[in-house]
Amino acid sequence: MIMKNNKLKIFLFIILLGILFIPKITITSAEEARSETTRTITIKGAGKDHTFKAYQIFKGDLHTENDKDVLSNIKWGDSVDANNLLNALKASTETVTEIKEDGTSSGTTKQVKEVFSSCSTARDVAEILALYENDSDMVRIFAELVSSHLKTEADGTSTVSSTYKEETSSYALDVPADGYYLIKDVTENLSAKNEFYTRYILKVAKSVEVKVKGEVPTVDKQVASTDKGKDEADSNHNNDSLKDQKALSAETGEALEFTLTGTLPTNYKDYKKYKYIFHDTLSKGLTLKEDSIKVYKVVDGQKSEVSKCDTANNQDKNACYTSEVKHNENSDGQTTLTVTIEDLKKVISDEEFAKGNTEEDSKESKIIVKYYASLNKDAVVGKDGNTNTVYLEYSNNPNSGNEGKNGNTPEEKVTVYTYQLNINKQDGKKKQPLQGVGFKLYKKIKDGENEKKVYAVMKESSGVDSSNPYVIEKWTENENEATEMKTDNQGHISIKGLEDGTYYLKESTTPKGYNTIEDVEIVIKETITGNESSEVDAEQNLTNLSLEVKWIDNEKEQKGDTSTTGDPTSGVVETTILNMPG
């Protein structure tokens, strides 16, 4: 409502999207307003290390009328460069929907410079602003232009800096006079604090409290075992039945599906442009399958794929994602994967975001990255595991001119464990080592309603001791293709790259004078504490490792049924298997 008798009703004009107004003192008359010597604007909800400044944009006399704040006798404030601001308003080519004097939309889109073309005074500008809603593009544009046209302190502006109050976790700005103030978050660096800058706040000055609303994005990481026995993983990541975990054990060569899930900030609509980058690091023992990388968006509970940028045809990078893989082979052997969306607004619009982020509907908007990786010959055996970490880099300043400022989430980690089996082959009577005994390793996997055997093909066939073990490369249904492992002169065989589960050793070469034993059943059991929860920040730890072995000597009916405790730190389980002479 506009009052032509030099009064302007400004209905608690809060420009910041995501700012909640909470009255602190109700002023019921102009006399009371003028008698209040100090006006305190209290800000709650921001992190501890912010710095706010208040700048006077309009001067005037403040009082209430019919429970509404009224600012009369409006003039330009001491902090604003009025002439340049007015020129900037008359030059802006940004577009807004025109609002008529009766408060209704004209349905016509106009450039800002057209809306303010006839303005010459502070009152003229304020009258137009009063027509627009608090969360409209017009008030956002005005706040950004004001921020760019403030006087410096050398020019005589009277800025007010905030004071943090520990007891109330709030900031206080004691402004000296009635008027209309821009409150600006001038914190130097929030990147390391995983926080966001608040939007500009335009506030009629009396003692009031404003609460910053907003949460920064989060990132989570999970890993899942794919279907055993399949050489190729699902290229489109369509198997939603896989069990996502923060930690698990796996065989070398086994395809594992890694899932990165990033949420959006609650003040997403405050941003004109939003940068979103996943920084993922794989340890030396993990090999990334580069052609398996896929990106998806989830809006209102529905998942759809985000296209990869076609840089060869100069596709707009803002509407797609780019990925970069770097291998650090010369030092720690890590692989880094960077997935970048230059402008998430082109992928998830404000309208899409609003569908799944209301109080009635908790289906959050998300960005998901999926890819496959496998353990390789450099995989770490035991408790330290093979780690895979991620953090999210995101835009954290919704105000114009600060698009280069980004925040970082804390790092999230998943761990993949693998184990080593040491076998000692001995004469059943003399307990002396048996050299040259051959074994093939196999396991049973489901094939529909039935089971089938698959045999291990080893990456290295020369290693027989614990420092140079056989390493599982892949599995085959053809027993003739399986690697035959033979004991050394100490009767040792070591196999690296096993997981929690059941395996079988088939004796393929028996020394002369000895009975061939039946297939040996080997069961590796693990305990990973904390893995019951897949929550962000959940801590996992490999605490127990054990081995159960069953074997029978056919001729002499010698039976072995042993259970031994393994070493979680080294990841090694060990057993002795006997052969009886004929």
Q: Which numeric CATH code is attached to 419-579? A: 2.60.40.10
Domains 219-416 and 419-579 share a fold: yes
Pick the residue with more confidence: 16 or 260? 260
Arithmetic mean of pLDDT, 201-222? 77
Arithmetic mean of pLDDT, 542-563? 74
Point out the least confidently predicted range of 131-135, 216-220, 284-288, 535-539.
535-539
| CA–CA separation, 471 and 493 (whole Å) | 11
What pLDDT is stored for residue 318 in this prediction? 62
DSSP conformation class of 151 = P
Residues with Cβ within 8 Å of residue 486, at least 6 apart in sequence: 436, 437, 438, 439, 464, 493, 509
| pLDDT tens readout for residues 78-133 | 888 999 999 999 999 999 998 888 878 888 899 999 999 999 999 999 889 888 88
Average pLDDT over all residues of the chain: 82
% of the chain at pLDDT higher than 90: 42
What pLDDT is stored for residue 119 in this prediction? 93
What pLDDT is stored for residue 486 in this prediction? 92
What pLDDT is stored for residue 70 in this prediction? 76
Q: Is 493 within 8 Å of 464 (Cβ atoms)? A: yes
Q: Which numeric CATH code is attached to 219-416? A: 2.60.40.740
**Strand-pair category, 572-579 with 419-427:** parallel
The yes-or-no verdict on residue 313 having pLDDT over 70 is no
Q: Is 475 within 8 Å of 447 (Cβ atoms)? A: no
Q: Is 393 within 8 Å of 275 (Cβ atoms)? A: yes
What pLDDT is stored for residue 227 in this prediction? 67
What pLDDT is stored for residue 394 in this prediction? 93
| CA–CA separation, 326 and 295 (whole Å) | 19
Pick the residue with more confidence: 186 or 507? 507
Q: Is 54 within 8 Å of 183 (Cβ atoms)? A: yes
Residue 561 pLDDT level (bands cut at 50, 70, 90): low
Residues with Cβ within 8 Å of residue 522, at least 6 apart in sequence: 421, 502, 503, 504, 505, 547, 548, 549, 575
| pLDDT tens readout for residues 108-122 | 899 999 999 999 999
Pick the residue with more confidence: 325 or 361? 325
Domain extent listing, the chain = 2-212, 219-416, 419-579
What pLDDT is stored for residue 564 in this prediction? 84
Pick the residue with more confidence: 48 or 216? 216
